[in-house]
Amino acid sequence: MRYVSTRSTPNVPGLPFCDILLDGLAPDGGLYLPEHYPSLTAETLAHWRTLLATEGYAAVAFEVLDLFVDDIPDADLRAICERAYASEVFGDPVVPVQPLSDGVWLAKLSEGPTAAFKDMAMQLLGQLFEYELARRDETLTILGATSGDTGSAAEYAMRGRRGITVFMLSPQGRMSPFQQAQMFSLDDPHIVNLAVEGVFDDCQDLVKAVMGDAAFKAAHNLGAVNSINWGRVVAQVVYYVVSYLRVTTALDAAGEDVTRVSFAVPTGNFGNICAAHVAREMGLPIDALILATNENNVLDEFFRTGVYRVRSGAEETSSPSMDISKASNFERFVYDLLGRDGVRTAELFGPVLREQGFFDLSGTPEFADARRRYGFVSGTSTHADRLATIRAVETADGVVIDPHTADAVKVAHDLRDAVAGPIIVTETALPVKFSATIVEALGREPERPAAFVGIEDLPRQVTDIPADAELLKRIIEEHP
């Protein structure tokens, strides 16, 4: 398996997995994708169903990843998966599923060290980085941006790993107090938190600007842990496979013969649902991909109208991890939508967006066929919707969900009649990370795991900076 950029010209030779793992962003500014998606068969899914029941999540993760990775020996890749998805990291089973009302299921992705779904990919990425750096006898400087959960998941996954230093950008005051405490309480010389004046999009732009300086990137061996890194996306493909297997197995045991499901995914940067798109392209039996946004509904607007319009700034909402107006991973889908035309993709995400602030595919045959070909439907949820959904789920099912998951549940119910099969909602985080919204919805604090008691009272390790790429470069250069 080889990888190409979403902005590459025809006949450009592909790169192996470990090269693009450490690279993050392609030199031409595009994002890496495999030259083709592997195809699943009914026999493969039946084998994985048995494997999940007998050997667990890590065994299935190895087999899924093995389809995409051919430059790590099988024994090593298997050991990496076993370390990343050990029961002491994620509990047992890894990614359990839970039925809610009206044919909706919850894929519980927040059982990891930082209580967010980002742990599912980040723990694997930490293992992969450490393995490959040791093999090459190199170091890596990770530059990332977070709107909430990516930062803490990355820092917890990378801390203490040999040869890795992390610089994590976050928007000043835009994360929940719990999210800030998780990141800023880490006291490690190789973890550097930088709070940027502005919104998440400003942080993301800084990462792209610094990564786009090829000489600086090479001099400091910069890599990425944001979902622009293909390693993040392919790791997330695994839990779509596993949650599909768990739900259909449970329904089969209950006497329901279900072969296809739909997924509802809350998203702002198109990373999580991009992995669902990849799984569907591989042949996982998915009817619809239900894309749920909050008030920052750039992606919902595209799937309704064909117009991708970057906003001047993201609105601050009660599902803050989705407060994004420039969806970096969306380029991967558009590349597929346009028949993998890298030249056309580069034009849309380069000069067209820079000059117009939007592009319009509404009149193209590709967009007209998008629902049938790729399964996407979409909707938007508001603060009032989140509160009502949190209350409704708690009343009907006795389950407290976080506001991002509530966005997905709300949109899933809105679109229930437009999709087939049970709907699996991908959980975003434990409710404790957004306690103010839970208190507003339910009148009480959410349950707090013992590991997180008093976290907001710990000393903070963070530096405030303006959105200045040259200043960021100096901070990286001067770090001991």
Q: What is the DSSP string of 212-264?
A: T-HHHHHHHTEE--STTSHHHHHHHHHHHHHHHHHHHHHHHHTT-----EEEE
Q: Quick count: other Cβ atoms within 10 Å of Cβ 53?
A: 12
> Do 40 and 53 touch, CB atoms closer than 8 A?
no
Write out the two tokens for 440: 């507003």
Q: Which residues contact 277 (CB under 8 A, 6 or more apart)?
A: 289, 332, 333, 336, 374, 376
Q: Work out the end-to-end distance of the chain between its first and last CA atoms, rounded to an integer number of angstroms.
A: 38
What is the pairing mode between strands 3-5 and 32-34?
A: antiparallel
CA distance 324 to 320: 9
Residue 324, both tokens: 């994004």
Q: Show the tokens assigned to 31.
A: 């994002």
Q: Of the listed 108, 118, 217, 410, which one is catalytic? A: 118
Query: 145 has which bridge partners?
Result: 169
Looking at the DSSP bridge assignments, the partners of residue 164 are 140
Taking Cα atoms as reference points, which of 150, 198, 182 lies closest to residue 460?
Answer: 182
- Two structure tokens written together for 91: 């509990």
210-227 CB burial, b ≥16 within 10 A, e <16: bbeeeebbeebebbbbbb
Residue 208 annotated in active site: no
- Say if CB 127 and CB 134 are below 8 A apart: no
Q: Are the C-beta atoms of 260 and 421 separated by less than 8 Å?
A: yes
The DSSP element (H or E) to which 90 belongs, if any, is helix 87-90
Closest CA relative to residue 412, chosen from 379, 375, 374, 372: 379
How many CB atoms neighbour CB 84 within 10 A?
26
Q: How far apart are CA 234 and CA 173, in angstroms?
A: 31
Q: Which residues pair with 377 in a beta bridge?
A: 290
Under a CB-based contact definition with an 8 Å cutoff, are residues 143 and 397 in contact? Answer: no
**Could you tell me if 60 and 51 are in contact, meaning their C-beta atoms sit under 8 angstroms apart?**
yes
CA–CA distance, 80 with 126 (Å, rounded to integer): 10
For the annotated catalytic residues, the residue numbers are 118
